[in-house]
Structure 1
């Protein structure tokens, strides 16, 4: 039971951090990826991956209708 509780807490906390990262990326100010990684307590590659995925989802694809 303790293992399930920990995994639920971990998953809820990671969703909260993911939302915070997206909030930081959406701000007008340029915030360094290293600062975001430090704030979210994750590695820099994860921040870059999230940033790349978020930017690619925002870019409109002219072939899609």
Structure 2
């Protein structure tokens, strides 16, 4: 019957949707980790810095 032939398609669609949700969540987590790492303060040698990271004013000597 038509109903029984559509069931496998529905199952496949649901599985694909579930995979997409998991992938999306994984990417959100990775993106948040990247954003957090960009906010971390880290040491920079003064000779390597040309502009203030806070206000972009030149600090070059």
For the aligned pair, the TM-score class normalised by the smaller chain equals 0.3 to 0.5
For the pair shown, the structure with the greater C-alpha radius of gyration is 2
Q: Which structure dedicates a bigger proportion of its chain to helix?
A: 1
Give the TM-score normalised by structure 1: 0.42
Give the TM-score normalised by structure 2: 0.44
